[in-house]
């Protein structure tokens, strides 16, 4: 329960950042920073798919309400959450995964962290921008938006998680 | 039951994912006009294609039915042509007191349900009996040529004497455009050939000529194709004999026309009286 509250508090912080700071960032309509995906990305490595999906639904629904995107964020973040375990297996070495815990960069290594986060961000961005554009015209532009936004969000998440540290009692993380 | 529960447990994340996504997608498309329009266009493209394929498949499977309808229509038109040509013939030949018996009384379409061609005396079973208006002595032919005539009828089926019946099939034939008839029969050997004998020696007959039915038959309408002359045996000085390749493929009979001739009963009755 405590962990749930911690994550929920973290989500509220991200919501405020997204709504009041990142929401106004716009670089030639190419850059969209979606910091709220950090909640799903930073879930403990042993988190199963169903809790991930429920978290994603909560985050997506709240973000959709605040940003007026009518389920677009929910669709994208739930999609990302569905494939999280697969991405973890693919991008993070098995010994780190079996150790469990929250995937901070200081724990899993910066390189592995970037590989994991950028894959997750791309999964989110593919669904988000594809549904937003809903067209194969200007596919290059859509791909550029996916690339730029995923790279920038990965960097943002890296920066945001730098001051955070895992609590010692790992068993209570989730 | 346990296995089912285990299976459901295993796919629970997928089911939850699909459920959430379906709800979210329905909300998304119902609140975004642009995306909805795009989605409708895409779905119309696919459903249109699927409908097209389904329609093609449906048409393909209904070809048999359409074929039957066409054959019935064709039969009606044949009967109508005969009727009109008969009227025109009468009006043109005002000196002719008795009109030619060339017009059909009736023309039916029947389906072959059984056909033998490897025996010495072969028969054709057709779907269509007295209930459908098929009666004995009706001529059977398809678009290629004659194949036989109806012998026995039940309510829904009839048995016909095949042209490949050595014992019971006899009719008259002539070279198309010529006047001298010969007798068509089957020697019981090759299902692709019949024999035309008793042809007068002065008849102009050559390999490649088309043999058709004559006006003398009480079963077959005149000028229905029978076959093509394959060889002519004129070694005897009085009568010629010819081998005829049948035009109708007797091994692949499917739908046939069954026709009866006008005045057929009267003629049969009279001829039987003389013979008796």
What are the structural domain ranges in chain B? 14-61, 71-262
Residue B94 pLDDT grade (very low, low, confident, very high; cuts 50, 70, 90): very low
Q: What is the pLDDT of residue A61?
A: 93
A103 contact B CB<8A: no
Residues of B in contact with A131 (CB under 8 A): 28, 35
* Distance (Å, whole) CA B204 – CA A71: 91
A136 contact B CB<8A: no
Over range B235-261, report the average pLDDT: 88
Architecture (CATH level 2) of domain B71-262? Beta Barrel (2.40)
How many domains does chain A contain in total?
1
* Distance (Å, whole) CA B204 – CA B251: 31
- Tokens 């008795």 found at: B98
Q: What is the pLDDT of residue B104?
A: 63
Q: Give the residue from B252, B251, B256, B226 showing the smallest Cα distance to B134.
A: B256
- Digit-coded pLDDT (tens) for B134-157: 999 999 998 889 999 999 999 889
Q: What is the pLDDT of residue B88?
A: 61
Q: Give the residue from A41, A80, A43, A73 showing the smallest Cα distance to A58.
A: A73
Of A49, A78, A134, the CB nearest to B21: A78
Q: Is the per-residue pLDDT at A156 higher than 50?
A: yes
Q: What is the pLDDT of residue A1?
A: 66
Answer yes or no: do B13 and A50 touch at CB < 8 A.
Answer: yes
A60 contact B CB<8A: yes
Residues of A in contact with B31 (CB under 8 A): 70-71
How many Å lie between the alpha carbon of B51 and the closest alpha carbon of chain A?
A: 24
Mean pLDDT of chain A: 87
How many Å lie between the alpha carbon of B55 and the closest alpha carbon of chain A?
A: 29
Mutation site for B-interface testing, chosen from A53, A77, A129, A142 by largest number of B Cβ within 10 Å? A53
Mean pLDDT of chain B: 84
Answer yes or no: do A131 and B35 touch at CB < 8 A.
Answer: yes
How many Å lie between the alpha carbon of A142 and the closest alpha carbon of chain B?
A: 15
* Distance (Å, whole) CA B193 – CA A7: 93
Query: Which residues touch B266 (CB under 8 Å, ≥6 apart)?
Result: none
When comparing pLDDT for A145 and A137, which is higher?
A145
Of A48, A75, A135, the CB nearest to B21: A75
Residues of A in contact with B34 (CB under 8 A): 134
Answer yes or no: do A75 and B24 touch at CB < 8 A.
Answer: yes
Residue B49 pLDDT grade (very low, low, confident, very high; cuts 50, 70, 90): confident
B27 contact A CB<8A: yes
Q: Are B260 and B138 in contact (CB under 8 A)?
A: yes
Residue B111 pLDDT grade (very low, low, confident, very high; cuts 50, 70, 90): confident
Q: What is the pLDDT of residue A165?
A: 77
Domain carrying residue A7: 2-172
Instruction: Annotate B109-162 with three-state secondary structure.
Output: EEEEEEECCCCCEEEEEEECCHHHCCCCCCEEECCCCEEEEEEEECCCEEEEEE
State which residue of chain B sits closest to A133, comparing Cα positions. B35
Over range A140-167, report the average pLDDT: 89
Over range B223-251, report the average pLDDT: 89
Of A49, A50, A70, the CB nearest to B31: A70
Taken in order A60, A61, A66, A72, the sign of the CA dihedral is positive
Q: What is the pLDDT of residue B92?
A: 43
Q: Is the per-residue pLDDT at B16 higher than 90?
A: yes
A138 contact B CB<8A: no
Q: What is the pLDDT of residue B18?
A: 95
Q: What is the CA radius of gyration of chain B?
A: 31
State which residue of chain B sits closest to A82, comparing Cα positions. B17
Q: Are strands B146-153 and B139-141 parallel, antiparallel or unpaired?
A: antiparallel
Question: How buried is B251 (Cβ within 10 angstroms: 0-12 exposed, 13-18 middle, 19+ buried)?
Answer: exposed
How many Å lie between the alpha carbon of B34 and the closest alpha carbon of chain A?
A: 8
When comparing pLDDT for A150 and A137, which is higher?
A150
Q: What is the pLDDT of residue A150?
A: 94
When comparing pLDDT for A36 and B87, which is higher?
A36
Q: Are strands B181-185 and B225-233 parallel, antiparallel or unpaired?
A: unpaired
Of all residues in chain A, the percent with pLDDT exceeding 90 is: 50
């Amino acid at each position: 329960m405590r962990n749930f509250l911690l994550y929920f508090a973290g989500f509220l912080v991200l919501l405020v950042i997204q709504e009041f700071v990142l929401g106004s960032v716009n670089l030639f309509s190419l850059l969209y920073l979606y910091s709220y995906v950090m909640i799903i990305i930073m879930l403990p490595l042993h988190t199963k798919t169903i809790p991930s999906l429920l978290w994603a639904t909560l985050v997506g629904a709240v973000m959709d309400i605040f940003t007026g995107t009518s389920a677009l964020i929910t669709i994208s973040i739930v999609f990302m959450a569905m494939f999280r375990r697969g991405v973890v297996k693919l991008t993070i070495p098995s010994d780190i995964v079996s150790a469990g815990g929250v995937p901070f960069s200081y724990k899993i290594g910066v390189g592995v962290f970037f590989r994991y986060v950028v894959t997750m961000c791309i999964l989110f961005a593919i669904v988000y921008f594809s549904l937003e554009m809903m067209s194969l015209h200007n596919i290059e532009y859509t791909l550029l938006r996916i690339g730029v936004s995923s790279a920038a969000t990965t960097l943002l998440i890296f920066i945001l998680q730098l001051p955070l540290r895992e609590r010692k009692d790992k068993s209570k993380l989730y | 039951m346990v296995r089912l529960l285990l299976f459901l447990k295993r796919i629970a994340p997928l089911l939850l994912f699909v459920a959430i996504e379906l709800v979210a997608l329905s909300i998304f498309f119902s609140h975004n006009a642009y995306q909805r329009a795009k989605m409708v266009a895409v779905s119309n493209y696919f459903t249109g294609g699927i409908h097209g394929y389904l329609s093609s498949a449906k048409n393909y499977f209904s070809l048999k039915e359409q074929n039957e309808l066409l054959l019935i229509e064709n039969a009606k038109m044949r009967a109508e042509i005969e009727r009109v040509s008969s009227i025109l013939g009468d009006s043109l030949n005002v000196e002719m007191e008795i009109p030619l018996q060339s017009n059909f009384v009736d023309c039916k379409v029947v389906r072959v349900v059984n056909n033998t061609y490897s025996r010495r005396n072969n028969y054709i079973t057709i779907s269509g009996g007295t209930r459908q208006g098929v009666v004995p002595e009706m001529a059977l032919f398809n678009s290629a040529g004659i194949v036989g005539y109806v012998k026995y009828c039940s309510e829904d089926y009839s048995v016909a004497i095949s042209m490949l019946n050595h014992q019971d099939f006899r009719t008259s034939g002539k070279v198309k455009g010529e006047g001298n008839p010969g007798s068509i029969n089957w020697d019981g050997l090759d299902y692709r050939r019949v024999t035309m004998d008793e042809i007068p020696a002065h008849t102009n007959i050559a390999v490649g000529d088309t043999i058709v039915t004559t006006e003398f038959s009480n079963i077959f309408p005149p000028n229905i194709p029978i076959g093509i002359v394959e060889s002519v045996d004129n070694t005897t000085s009085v009568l010629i004999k010819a081998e005829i390749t049948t035009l109708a493929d007797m091994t692949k009979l499917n739908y046939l026309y069954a026709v009866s001739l006008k005045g057929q009963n009267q003629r049969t009755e009279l001829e039987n009286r003389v013979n008796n």
